[in-house]
Structure 1
Amino acid sequence: MDKQNLREQIERIINVPLDKTTISTATWKNWVKSAQATGQPTHVMPPTLIEHEDRCYMLWKQGSSQTDLLHCAANLLSERERQWLETLLWLDLSSRKSSSSTTGGDEQQAVQFGQWIVERLQAKDVQAEVPDSFSWKTKMFAPVIPFLLVAEHSHREGPSYAHLYKLLKSYFGGDLVIFPLSDKEWCILVPESLAGSGEQEEDPDNKETMEEMLTSFCLGLYELLAAEWVGESNLTVAYPFTPVKGIPGIVSRMRETIYLGRTFHITENIHLPWELHLEQLVYSIPDDVRKQFMKRVVTKTEQFGDSETMGTLQTFFQYDCSVSETAKRLYIHRNTLLYRLDKIKQETGLDVRSFSDAVLIKLILLLYKVTK
């Protein structure tokens, strides 16, 4: 059980809301010594619950320098509830230490592997081969599907590696490789065999393309991780490859995909490389060339900074330039949409209902996001 669910269950059983605080581990040890000196009874060793200044403090997570505590007013807990909480917290901390020790070797290998990839990227050695010093190299000869997960916030609760690995293994139904590139960035290598691509080739009635399969995996994986692990995050995927050589280059391209997606589609969380070809081309244009293009093509570029205009055009392109579908999605009358499009034509000299002008406007929208 993850820490958040455990906390919710405790609060539900004792019917008392618990606050959370963080103190130094040295301070916690001093509190424990003071409690023992005053004769406070303890039912487990080391103590996981003490009373300090009329509040009950419960050991939630302990590190070498900081300790997380749950606490409430001391008079809200009966002696029986205190004993139950002491035992429960002690069992939880013991089980997590045991799990951490069994996965410690894999986690250490994951951290070292991530550091090696970052070093290769800094050296621009994108075609580097995985060194023999990594025991994981034996796993790198089979084709895998790579994912890159970038969390918006660092994940602090619980053993991140063990929890993430367990979630992913249950989702894909088999062993995989995960490793951190930073405290917010994880790379996930899923054996291609777990994606069922072999069955897809044998079934002539299965019309799902590789892109559709990878998209469905991304959607399911994002929902799982958002709910169970990292919360708000960004996710991308690349085509299957054999990672024994060239994995730094794949990671670099996935990082670029995440960056392009967050730059051009800031409201989205899943960024797919085959949907960002035009964005990649636009981003590669030198800044001075972008500005010259904007001045030459549009006399009133500030029109594209208007939120209503931007929203209208983005929805119009999203639904394949369909007036009816765009009006429906914007919850406006068809005539209202036509009025907006005519207004854009009058102010910019470009008619989005004309193919050539629509191409220019699409480019302008992308360039505006980069330049502004």
Structure 2
Amino acid sequence: MKEDKIKIIRVPLQEIENMVDDQNALLLLEKEDARIYLKTGHNKDLLTVEEVYEIVNTLKDLLVKNESKEDNLTEWLYRQWKSKEKYIENESSRYFNSMNWSQGWIPLIFIKQSKGSWEDGFIKLISSYLNVELFTVTISTSTMMTIVSNMELQFSKEKKDDISEFVQGIFEMLQNEWDEEVKVGVQYPAFCLQDVVDFGHQLLDDEKWVMNLWPKISFFTPWSHQLERIIAKVPREELNKYLAEYKLVDNELLKTLEVFIEESLNMSETARRLFIHRNTLQYRLDKVKQQIGLDAKKIKDAFLIKIILLLKDGLDSMHKNDNQ
């Protein structure tokens, strides 16, 4: 039996009846939406023992080739994301032609602070939780990209709530199951190779502000944290100049402002969360107004205060990293 006569084919359920009378098709696996067949060179009932061994060896060769192809694919993406080169169509097609683009692929990023290598156990945990086809690309000791099949998830750009719940679920699972804090970012489903590369660059660009605002971030999406992304592009010297005009050093006032903004400027909810009387809260807000000239109860001033708090957190983190 020649090797080129042995093929593995995937047949959707609606086409199964076409395989009923095929004497050369050997059923290997039944799935919910399809069946996997082994196509032989002649009638499956007439296979000899030697031919069965030959089929097994051919399957082994196919598995080795698939593993090699995935290695090439992840290596190619690694080069693209590290160098920021524009992808080369002819080169990339060798690795990506076999991918199913009709349903799309979802780029994810995992970010940690430690400099140790990513453990195999982490990748196995992600694979087990998601239970879909995926592959990973390790970018650095602190960053790993994962490309997840959208075939079962069926996300689209319009399903923002579903995508948010998806990435939040991954973050919360890691909090419970993994012994190190890991931040998680997601992008829209990519329906072509160019999107995979571009979305990956965007996620990697997010790493900087996520690291600077580490305690404030859990997971992020393309439509969340827009202010943080803008601030991350401002040079440090400019940030220092801006903050010099609004000096807030009292930790009690800083915490009060943070909660007040989180509660959408609601006095009662803020006082409840801080376990203080409304009069005490009013006193603190008045004190802020005296110090920096901004009234936190006014939306325009509250927005500026939000920026100040983000800048302070980011600069504090930068200074901390400089001293390490």
Same fold at TM > 0.5? yes
**Does the C-alpha gap of structure 1 residues 156 and 366 become closer, same or farther in structure 2, counting only changes over 3 Å?**
closer
Tell me which residue corresponds to 1:283: 232
Tell me by how many angstroms 1:342 deviates.
Answer: 0.9
Is the 2:84–2:201 contact (alpha carbons within 8 Å) kept by the matching residues of 1? no
Equivalent residue runs for 1:186-335 within 5 Å: 186-197=144-155, 210-229=159-178, 231-295=180-244, 298=245, 301-303=246-248, 305-335=249-279
Structure 2: gaps (5+ residues): 1-61, 317-324
Contact 1:261 1:271 in 2 (8 A): no
Q: Secondary structure at the match of 2:234?
A: coil
Change (3 A) 1:222 1:244: same
Taking structure 1 as the reference length, the TM-score comes to 0.58
Paired residue secondary structure (1:218): helix
Larger deviation: 335-344 or 360-369? 360-369
Change in CA separation of 1:218 and 1:333 when aligned onto 2, cut-off 3 Å = same
Q: Where in structure 2 are the equivalents of 1:151-166 lying within 5 Å?
A: 151-153=112-114, 154=116, 159-160=120-121, 164-165=123-124
Q: Deviations over 1:72-106 (max 9, x none)?
A: xxxxxxxxxxxxxxxxxxxxxxxxxxxxxx99876
* Correspondence for 1:181 among 136, 139, 144: 139
Is 1:118–2:41 an aligned residue pair? no
The secondary structure found in structure 2 opposite 1:138 is coil
Q: Tell whether the 8 Å contact from 1:111 to 1:179 is kept in structure 2 after alignment.
A: no
Q: Helix, strand or coil for the counterpart of 1:178?
A: strand
Cα distance between partner residues in 2 of 1:220 and 1:261? 19
Distance in 1, Cα, partners of 2:291 & 2:253:
11
User: Which SS does the other structure have where 1:216 is aligned?
Assistant: helix
- Does 2:83 align with 1:138? no
After TM superposition, give the deviation of residue 149 of structure 1 in Å. 1.1
Q: What CA distance in whole angstroms lies between the structure 2 residues aligned with 1:184 and 1:264?
A: 15
- Report what 1:367 is aligned to: 311
Please give the secondary structure, in 1, of the residue aligned with 2:268. helix
Residues 320-362 of structure 1: per-residue CA shift (max 9 Å, x gap): 1111112222222222221111111111111111122212222
CA distance in 2, matches of 1:313, 1:132: 52
Q: CA separation of 1:289/1:181 partners in 2, compared to 1, >3 Å: closer, same or farther?
A: closer
Q: Distance in 2 between matches of 1:229 and 1:104?
A: 31
- Aligned to 1:302, the other structure's residue is in SS state coil
1:29-52 Cα offsets, whole Å, 9 max, x none, are xxxxxxxxxxxxxxxxxxxxxxxx
Distance 2:68 2:252 in 1: 50
Residue aligning to 2:280:
336
Distance in 1 of aligned mates of 2:66 and 2:139: 15
Distance 2:139 2:208 in 1: 15
Summarize deviations over 1:163-187 as a string: whole Å, max 9, x none.
724x444433432233322344322
Query: C-alpha distance in 1, partners of 2:214/2:126?
Result: 26
Counterpart-to-counterpart distance in 2, 1:319 and 1:326: 6
Give 2:223's aligned amino acid.
Answer: W
Unaligned runs of at least 5 residues, structure 1: 1-101, 202-208
Deviations 1:111-132 (A, max 9, x none): 5444433322343225554623
**Are the aligned partners of 1:234 and 1:270 in contact in 2 as well (CA < 8 Å)?**
yes
2:78–2:138: 8 Å Cα contact kept in structure 1? Answer: no
1:229/1:290 CA distance change after superposition, 3 Å: closer
- Number of aligned positions between the proteins: 252
Measure the CA separation in 1 of the matches of 2:233 and 2:141: 29
- Aligned residue type for 1:194: E
Q: After TM superposition, give the deviation of residue 286 of structure 1 in Å.
A: 3.5
RMSD: 3.2
Contact 1:257 1:273 in 2 (8 A): no
Match of 1:147 in 2: 108
Aligned pairs for 1:56-71 (under 5 A) are none
CA shift in 2, pair 1:273/1:328, >3 Å? farther
- Once residues 183 and 285 of structure 1 are traced to their aligned partners in structure 2, the CA distance between those partners, rounded to angstroms, is 26
SS in 2 for 1:193: coil
Confirm or deny: 8 A CA contact 1:127 1:247 kept in the other structure.
no
CA–CA separation in structure 2 for the residues paired with 1:244 and 1:156:
26
1:109-158 deviations in Å (ceiling 9; x for gaps): 55544443332234322555462343x5422634122111123443676x
Change (3 A) 1:240 1:287: same
